Structure 1
Amino acid sequence: MIDRSGFRPNVGIIVCNQRGEVFWGKRVGHRSWQFPQGGIDVEERPLEAMYRELHEEVGLLPEHVSVMAWTRGWLRYRLPRNMVRRHVQPVCIGQKQKWFLLRLRTDESAFDLNATHKPEFDGWEWRPFWSILPEVIYFKRTVYFQALHQLAPFIEGVPAECPDDCLPEQLERRGGRDSSADLATAGNRDAR
C-alpha cells in the first residue's frame, strides 16, 4: 500500500529492557543493523501492524511487552534516487512511519528470530539507547533521530537529548558520504 504522495505506511519498533537498552537487530545476510520495522497492510491499524511485525521479526507476542509510547504523526524518509523503482506502479519514493516504544516484560528467551519462515534478523544485541544512530543507514538517520528524540523521555535513566556527536548533522559531516539531498526528509505531519 502506497499513499498518493508515494510513501509506504510503515511501523518502527523500539524494544527496551529494564536497563533502558534497546534491541538492535542484524539483518539476515547483511552487515547492517536496525530496529524491527515493516509495512502496514490495507485496512490494518498501526498498532495492529506493530504487533504483527513484532512477532514476524523477533517472535515476541503482545503479552511479552508493554506499549510505553508512540510517535506523534508520521515520520518520513525518502529513498535515494537510485533505490526508487520507477518501473513499478505505484512508485514508492519512501516510507512514512509510526514508531512504537515497548518495554520487554519477560526474559530474553522470548525472542525468536526464526518465528516465521522468512527471518528478518540473524543476530541481535542490547545497545545503549542513543548509541545506534551512527550505524543507521544515512537516508533513514533523521527519522531514527526523530523517533528516538520523541520517545527518550519515556525511559527512566535515558537522557532526553542525544549526545552532540550523535546528531544527524554531526554524523553527516564525519561520514562524508551523506549529502543533504539524500538525507531523509522528515515530516511530522499526520497524513491520512
Structure 2
Amino acid sequence: MIDRDGYRPNVGIIITNDRNQVFWGKRIRQHAWQFPQGGIQYGETPEQAMYRELHEEVGLLPEHVKILGRTRDWMRYEVPQSWSKRESRGGYRGQKQIWFLLRLIGRDCDVHLRASEHPEFDAWRWNDYWLDINAVIEFKREVYTMALNELARYLPGHRHGMAHLQAHK
C-alpha cells in the first residue's frame, strides 16, 4: 500500500526499559542496528500495526509493554533506489512512519527474536536513549532524530537532551 506521494505507511517502535535505555536490534546477517519497524497493512490502525510488528519482530505481546506516547504526524524518509526492492514498482519513494514510545513492563526474557517465520533481528541490546545517530543507516538518521526528540518528553524523569545529526564530509 503506497500513498499517492510514493510513501508506504509504516510504524516505528522505540522500546524503553526502566532506565530509559532503548531496544536496539541487529538486522539478521548484517552489521546494521535499528529500532523495530514495519508496514501498516490495509485496514489496520497504526496502533494495531505496532502491536503486530512488535510481536513479529521482537516477540512481545501487548501485556509486555505500556504505550508512553506516539508522534503527532507522519515522519518520512526516502529510500535510495540502490536499496529499494520495490524500484520496479513505479512511484515508490520511501516510508512514512508513526513512531511509538513503549515501556517494557515485562522482562528481558520475554523478548523472542524468532517469534515469526521470517525474523528481522539476530541479536539485540539495550542502548542509551540518546544513541549515536551515526550508527543508524544514513537515509534513516533524520527521521530517527526527529522521533527521539519528539518522544523524549514522554520518558519518566526525562532529561533535556537532544539527538543531533552530524554532517558527513
Structure 1-normalised TM-score? 0.83
In structure 1, the residue matched to 2:57 is: 57
State, as a whole percentage, how many aligned pairs show the same letter.
Answer: 51
* Distance in 1 of aligned mates of 2:132 and 2:124: 13
Q: C-alpha deviations, 1:146-171, integer Å up to 9, x for none?
A: 00000011113443331xxx511xx2
* Distance in 2 of aligned mates of 1:86 and 1:94: 10
Relative to total residues, which structure has the larger helix share, 1 or 2? 1
In structure 2, the residue matched to 1:167 is: 164
Gaps of 5+ in 1: 177-192
The reply to whether residue 101 of structure 1 matches residue 101 of structure 2 is: yes
AA aligned to 1:30 is Q
Structure of greater Rg: 1
Q: C-alpha deviations, 1:111-156, integer Å up to 9, x for none?
A: 0000011110000000010114121111110100000000011113
Moved more, 43-52 or 75-84: 75-84
In structure 2, the residue matched to 1:136 is: 136
Q: Aligned-pair RMSD on alpha carbons? A: 1.3
Contact 2:81–2:87 (8 Å) recurs in 1? no
AA aligned to 1:25 is G
Q: Output aligned runs, 1:120-131, within 5 Å.
A: 120-131=120-131
Q: C-alpha deviations, 1:85-124, integer Å up to 9, x for none?
A: 44224x3101100000000011101000000111100000
AA aligned to 2:118 is K
AA aligned to 2:89 is V
